[in-house]
Structure 1
Amino acid sequence: MSNDDKWKDSLDAQTYSVTRQKGTERPFTGKWLNETRDGQYVCICCGANLFESSTKFDAGCGWPSFFAQSDNNNVEYREDVSHGMKRVEIVCKHCDAHLGHVFPDGPAPTGQRYCVNSVSLDFQPD
């Protein structure tokens, strides 16, 4: 069984599409968009700690947004020139799951907006 077949067997169709095929969930539909509890957002595929709730903010874009990745530095950056745009894709450093994109229009102190698909995350409350 290939690694891709293992992902297909272990993830639902939407999560597979987003995390393994670089898809995007529809805006304002994600499970974690309005989550306000304290905790950690981890990779749905491998459990790596990606974002802390203290860095989450409402960007109004329709996807969970964070101004910094966790201190674990489990988010990797890649150039994305798909769809006629130049963007920075973010992926899980451990399992290569597509998370979303990062933009330079976030709040202080970083000025970054990590725009993340809810289906690529799980939440672990404190």
Structure 2
Amino acid sequence: MNTPENTSKTTGVPLEKSDAQWREELTPDEYRVLRQAGTERPYTGEYWDTHTEGVYQCRACGSQLFTSHEKFDSHCGWPSFWAPLAEGTVRYLHDRTMGMDRVEVRCANCDSHLGHVFEGEGYGTPTDQRFCINSISLRLVESKEPVESKEPAESERK
């Protein structure tokens, strides 16, 4: 995959590309999940059981979305995080597909599908949220230094 140019980091304007551009830059599996809101099978993704220190970027545009510090073992088969890296890095959409009532999580920069967020499942995390994210939507950039914890924003606290 080519590394897409990400102009929004300097302009603050969401990244927009044509469907043809996305199809050219992403593999068929990446395209199915990131651009068509598909889901990878549980326990098959690259990061579901990874404990490597680093920052998780959007595979489509390179925006930093999550860190390894907020990642936790939820035993659901997908990478799980209790909060995004920072407020505004992801956006939320009401999702009523597949006969369920869920909250979809998308990259705020390029509008790629990442996964879903669930609340109130009883995990012992600071936010009681589980961002259930497809591995194929992410790229882990390993850190040589331990990743710093962030205090959850007021809106992320339960």
Normalising TM by the smaller chain, what interval?
over 0.9
Greater shift after overlay, 30-39 or 113-122? 30-39
The aligned residue for residue 17 of structure 1 is 32
Q: TM-score, normalised by structure 1?
A: 0.95
The separation in 1 between residues aligned to 2:141 and 2:49, in whole angstroms, is: 15
The separation in 1 between residues aligned to 2:88 and 2:124, in whole angstroms, is: 19
The aligned residue for residue 88 of structure 1 is 103
Does the CA-based 8 Å contact 1:50-1:72 persist in structure 2? no
Does the CA-based 8 Å contact 1:43-1:122 persist in structure 2? yes
The separation in 2 between residues aligned to 1:100 and 1:46, in whole angstroms, is: 16
Instruction: Select 1:113's aligned residue among 117, 130, 141.
Output: 130
Larger Rg: 2
The separation in 2 between residues aligned to 1:3 and 1:44, in whole angstroms, is: 17
The separation in 1 between residues aligned to 2:69 and 2:28, in whole angstroms, is: 30
The separation in 2 between residues aligned to 1:68 and 1:3, in whole angstroms, is: 30
Identity %: 46
Does the CA-based 8 Å contact 1:79-1:87 persist in structure 2? yes
The separation in 2 between residues aligned to 1:58 and 1:99, in whole angstroms, is: 18
Q: TM-score, normalised by structure 2?
A: 0.76
Task: Extract structure 1 runs of 4+ deviating beyond 3 A.
Answer: none
C-alpha displacement of 1:19: 0.3
TM alignment of 1:23-38, pairs within 5 A: 23-38=38-53
Instruction: Select 1:6's aligned residue among 15, 21, 30.
Output: 21
Q: What is the letter of the counterpart of residue 136 of structure 2?
A: V
Please, what is the CA RMSD of the aligned residues? Answer: 1.1
The separation in 2 between residues aligned to 1:4 and 1:123, in whole angstroms, is: 25
Bigger RCO of structures 1 and 2 (CA < 8 A, at least 6 apart): 1
Q: What is the letter of the counterpart of residue 107 of structure 1?
A: G
Give the secondary-structure state (helix, strand or coil) at the position aligned to 2:35: helix
Q: Which has the higher strand share?
A: 1
The number of equivalent residue pairs is 125
